[in-house]
Amino acid sequence: MTPDSHSILTTDDGTIRSELKRLLNGGLLRVVFQPILEFRTGLITAREGLIRPPSDSPFHHAGELFEAAERVDMLWDFERACREATFAAAENLPPGEFLFMNVTPAVFCDPRLIDELTALCRNSARFDPSHVTIELTERSEAASMEVLAKQSDRLRETGFQFAIDDVGAGTSGLNRIMRLRPNWLKLDRELVSNLHTDPFRRNLIQFFVHFARLSSILLLAEGIEREEELRAALELGVAYGQGFLMARPAGVRQAIDPLWYEVIPLMRDRMEARRFEDPRMAPIGELSQPLVTCPATTTAAEALRTIGSLREATALAIVDGSRVLGSVMIQQLKELGRTSPDLPLSRLCHPGVIVASPDMTVAETINWAVLRPDHEIMEPILVASEDVVGLLTMRSLMVAAGKMRPEGSPHTSSLTGLPNRVQLDFQIQRRLDRRLDTLGGIVDLRGFHAYNRAYGFDMGDAMLRQLAALLMIEFGEHESDEFIAHIADDNFFVLTSRRDLKVRLRLVAAEFDRSRGQFFNADDLQQGSFVSAWRGPGMTVPLCSLRIFIVPEICGVVQSSGDLLDLARRARRQEENTRIPSESTVRTIRLRRGGKDGRREAA
C-alpha cells in the first residue's frame, strides 16, 4: 500500500525509528478487543486483541505501525511490546473467553517466539496456552514455508491454538493451509463482503465449510458488516464470526447488543430447520447405517468373531490407526470367512474410499459422489468425523434423493409453500428450550368453508395464497426470529419476539379487507354478504374476514401446535353466539393460571 503524502512513512527512517521508540518506551500503544461470536449460542467465545496508535501519534492506523517497524528492522521489538500489552489488558477478559493475537510471518518464524509466549502464559493469572490462539497474518511472503510448518507444529505441541488469518487474501492460500494444518481458519473480509449476492463467493466459502468439517478445523468469518452477510454465512454453515455488525473493537469487557444472543441462534436454527422443509438439507449422518471398526491387520475370521451377533451392523470399517482405509460389507466378509479366513482386511477394501462428514447434506453428498469414476460410482460412502459414524449406501442416498420433489416437501404446505405443523412444533420447542419471550398470532378466515361452497375450491385456494402473501410481506422478509406456519385449511400461525405483533396484524387485517374485491362479485361486495349452501340452502354469510387472536405469552401456555389449535377453538367458541362481524378483527386472548402442570390457559 502506498502511503499518502501526510503519512509518517514518507519521512526518513530516523524519524520513524524515533517515533516507534517513543511509543514503545512510553508504553503508549493502545489495545482494543473485538468479540468473536459462536453462532450456535450467539455468545462471545473469544476476543481478538488489536493494536492502535495513540491519538497524538503521527501513525494513522495499525497498518502503518507494522509497516514502519518492518521497514526500520524493529518488527520483533515492536510485536513483543504488542504481545506484552495485549496480555496485560486481556487479564480482565470475562471468564471463559479465549484470546486471539496476530503475529506476522517473520516474527512467527523467530525461534524466540514460543518461549516468550510460554513465559507470558506462565506469568499470567488468567491464561494457559490452550486459551490463546495465535493468528498468522499474510503481511509478507518472505518467510520459508518449511520454517513456518516446523514452528506451527511446535506451537501446537506447546498447547497453543493456531489460526491462519485472512484466508482468501494475499498469501493465505491452499498450500499454506495444507502445510500448516491450523486449528482455525479466518475467512477474509474480501470473501465475506457481499456474500449474499455473489454465487462465486458462496461456492468458495461452501468449499471451506466442507473442508473445515472434514479436517476438524474451526471456521470463522471476519468482517461481517451487514445482516445479509451474516444470514448467508449461517446458511452456508460457518460456525463463528466477528465484524462491525455485531461489535466494533473496543474495551476488554465490551458487551454486544443482547438482541444478538437471541437473534443469531434463531437465525441459525432457522437454517438448520430447513432440513425439515427440504429433504436435500437432511444431514447424511441421519441416513448412515451402523458399522463396526477393525484394524487393517485383522483377518477375515477374526473380524467375524469380533462382530459376533451384531444384527444391526451391515458393514465393517477398516482402519490403520486413525486413518480410514475403506469398508467391507458384512455379507461379503462372511463369504470370505469361509473361503479365505486368514486374509487380512487390508486386502479386502477398495483403496479409493470416500469419507464424508455426517453434517454434509444429501444434495452436497450426491454432487460429491457422482464425481467418482464410473467403476466406483456404486461404492458405499463412509460417514466419519473424528470417529467413524456409519456407512451410507448409494441405495440409501438415492432413496433420499427421490424425496427431492420439486413440488414441495412433506413439511411445507403444498398450497402456500409455508411451513406446516411439523415445522411449527419444531419452532415452538426451540423457543421453549431457550426460554425465549415469544408472542403468538392465530389467524383464520371467517366464512371460508361457506366461500368454498359458493365460489369453488380454486377461488378458496387463491384467497389462502393471498393471505399467506400478506403475512410473508409483514413477517417473513425482515425479521430473522419471526416464523409463519400454515396448518389445516385456513389456520395460520405467527411466532415473534416483537411486542408490536398486534399492531402489525391489524395492518395485515386491513390490507386483507381492502383486497376482498378480487374474490367476490360486484353484487356480493355491495351487499357485504354472499349466499352459500354450506349449512343449508340459501344461507347468507358475511364477506370473509380475518379472525385474529394474540397469545401474549407462548412459554408457559403452549407445548405444541396442538395447544395453539386448542386455544384457537376455545376463542372461536366465545364468538359463536355473537353477531358475525363484516370486517377483520384482532383480539388478545386473556390468560389465567390453572392449566395442566401449572401452565396458563385461555380465560
Question: Domains of the chain (ranges plus CATH)?
Answer: 8-256 (3.20.20.450), 284-402 (3.10.580.10), 421-602 (3.30.70.270)
pLDDT per position as a tens digit, 52-66: 999 888 898 888 999
- Report the alpha-carbon distance of residue 102 to residue 66 in Å, rounded: 11
SS3 of 602, please?
strand
pLDDT higher than 90, residue 195: no
Report if pTM > 0.95. Answer: no
Which single residue is written with the C-alpha cell 349449512? 535
- Calpha distance 526→178 (Å, rounded): 74
Closest CA to 345 of 393, 298, 279: 298
Q: Which residues contact 434 (CB under 8 A, 6 or more apart)?
A: 262, 265
Q: What grid cell was written down for 276?
A: 425439515
**Residue 22 pLDDT:** 93
Residue 225 CA to residue 230 CA, distance in Å, equals: 8
Judge whether residue 598 has pLDDT over 80.
no
pLDDT tens by residue, 519-532: 898 889 999 999 98
- Which pLDDT score is estimated for 220? 96
pLDDT tens-digit readout, 87-146: 999 999 998 899 999 999 999 999 999 999 999 999 998 888 989 999 998 755 556 888
pLDDT digits (tens, 9 = 90+) for 507-566: 999 989 988 888 898 889 999 999 987 666 678 899 999 999 999 888 777 888 888 888
Q: Which three cell numbers stand for residue 87?
A: 496480555
Among the residues of 418-560, which ranges form H helices? 421-434, 448-455, 457-471, 501-514, 522-527
